[in-house]
Amino acid sequence: MNVQRRTLLRAIGAAGVTLTATGYATASDGRAEYVVTANGARARDRLVDAGFEVFREVADGAILGVRGPADAQSDIEGVPGVKAVSRDVTVDFETPVRADADDVPESGPLQWDNRRIEADRAHDIATGAGTSVAIVDTGIDFDHPDLGNVNEDLGVTFVPEGAEANDGGEDSAVRGHGTSVAGVAGGTGANRIVGVAPETELIPIRVFPDAGGARFVDIFAGIDYAASVGADVANFSLGVPGVLPPQANEGGIRSGIQTVFQSAVRRGTVVTASAGNAGGNLQQGGGFSLPNSVPAAFSVSATGPNDKLVFYSNYGTNEIDVAAPGGGYETEEKTFATDTPFPAPTNLIFTTAPVDAGTYTYIAGTSFSAPQVAGLAALVRELAPESNPQQVEQEIASGAELVNGKSDPELGAGRINALNTVRNLDG
C-alpha cells in the first residue's frame, strides 16, 4: 500500500479528531447561541420571561441551549437559577484520509491492537452479548458488512436546524469518523473487522452535520440520549481542542460537560473519552482538556504496537485513567519508518470506514483508543450486568498491565488487557 508520509500525518491529525473550534454557534437569524447550566427547574421559564429563546433542554433541563443577542452573556448570568453560561462554539475536523479497499492487504498484521489487548482470547469468555455501546460521533454506516449489529431504531441525529445530515444517526462518506470508531468497539467480524465487543449492540448518535461543525449543546444532547435509552456505554471520541489554559476552566462548556457526564453516569452509563491528540502534558502549568479533565469521564490515552505512549497523545497524572491502542509509535519519525516490526501504515489502527469511502481504513488517534475501552466495558457488563459505572471502570483498571498503581502519567492504571479483565470476572 503506497501512502505518502504527508498523507498519513494528515490522517492522524484529522482522523484523530484534534478538533478545531470553528467559531461561535449562531442561529439562522443571526442571534447568538449560549450553553447554560441551570440550577433549578425554574431557570428555563425565567430565561423565557427575560426575552431569551430556550431551544434545547438536556438532562431534564440541567443544560439549556439559549438564543439571544451576541452581548447577552452577562444578562443571562443575572437570571436567577443560572449557574454557568458561555457562548456555544462549533468544533470540526477535516475529512479523514482513507485507503482504498483495493489497496488494503488481504493478510498481515492488520488488527494488532485487538491482539495486543488479548481481545481475541477474551472472546472465548465474553463477546458483549446483551449489551449496548452508543457511539456519539458522526453516526455509523448502516450498510457496512462488519456493522450489522447497529440498532437503527434507536439511532438519532442532533444537528442545528436546517443543517443537512442523515436522519437516525446514519454516517456519510463525507464524515466517516463514527463508522471507524464503531468498528473498533463492536465490529462483528462478518467480513474483516472484529471489534473488542463483536456481539454488542451499537447505537448510532450523530452530532455532526454533513458540512460545518458540531455544537456542544448537540453533543450534550447525544450523551444525554445515550443514557436515556439505557446504553451500557457511551463512547465520546470528541472534545474541546488542545490543552486549554486554566482560565478556560470557568466557562459554561466545562460546566456543561461535567453536568451531562455526571448525569449519564448516575443513570448507569459508562462514558469513555479520548484523551486528546495535542501531545500535551495536562499535569503541568494548570492546563486541561475536555472531556478527560472531567471526573465523570473515563479518560483513555493512546499506545502503539510496542505499548509506548504515542507521540500525539495527551498525558498527565490524575488526568489519564487507562491506556489503549490508538496507532503509531512514540515518535513521529518511527511511526512513518519502514524498518519497524509494524511499518507504516500497519502500526495504525485498521478499522471500518463508510462503504462509499473505501469500506476499510488505516487511521490513528486517541479517538480509537477510547472505543477499545468502550468495547471492554461491554464485556464487563455482559459478565456483571448489575455493576455500576464505577465498578466497571475498576474492573478495567484492575485488569490493565504494564504499570504499578493507577496514576502513571502516561498510561494511568496501565494499558488495558481484555483477557485479564474477563478472567477476573469469570473466575
- The Cα-based distances of 369 to 34, 85, 159, 361, 375 in angstroms read 31, 31, 26, 15, 10
Q: Quickly list DSSP for 31-55.
A: -EEEEEEESSTTHHHHHHHTT-EEE
E strands within 88-161? 89-92, 132-137, 156-157
The catalytic residue among 86, 180, 299, 367 is 367
Q: Are 373 and 413 in contact (CB under 8 A)?
A: no
The catalytic residue among 137, 146, 321, 408 is 137
177 in active site: yes
Question: What phi, psi does 411 have (nearest 5°)?
Answer: -115, 0
> How do beta strands 349-352 and 360-363 pair?
antiparallel
Distance CA 182, CA 392 (A): 20
DSSP run (H or E) holding 227: helix 216-228
Distance CA 383, CA 126 (A): 7
The catalytic residue among 141, 171, 177, 369 is 177
144 in active site: no
Closest of 93, 210, 228, 223 to residue 160, by C-alpha: 210
Q: Are 205 and 394 in contact (CB under 8 A)?
A: no
Mind telling me the catalytic residues? 137, 177, 367
